[in-house]
Amino acid sequence: MRLLEAWGDVMAALSEREVRVLAFERGWWRSPGAKEQEIRDVLGMTATGYYQLLNELIDRPEALMLDPALVKRLRRQRARRHQMRSAGPGRGDGPSW
């Protein structure tokens, strides 16, 4: 019963839109076409708004409880991008564009 209560708290803490964004990110690759167009068609959002919301969501414990594998993967990807940017050209492992 405690697990059901916790799940209810997670669902209450996340809006329907936030849950849809996480679900979309989990399965977007199954759809043909450009991701940005799919974001507009499926979620009715701009790509910029989508990525801003997704970035905020992956920091929330409720999102981690809802989909731990997805949130952990996205956090790792974000950390790698940050590491590459902070290394800069000629200062680390990042690309030297």
Res 17: pLDDT: 95
DSSP conformation class of 58: T
Angle at 20 between CA 19 and CA 26, to 5 degrees: 95
Closest-CA residue to 51 (of 27, 86, 78): 78
Alpha-carbon gap, residue 50 to 70, rounded angstroms: 16
Express as a percent the part of the chain with pLDDT over 70: 76
User: pLDDT tens-digit profile of 28-53?
Assistant: 877 667 889 999 999 999 999 999 99
Q: Give this prediction's pTM.
A: 0.75
Each residue's pLDDT, cut to its tens digit, for the chain (97 residues) gives 554 455 556 667 899 999 999 999 998 877 667 889 999 999 999 999 999 999 999 999 999 999 999 999 999 999 999 899 888 765 555 555 4
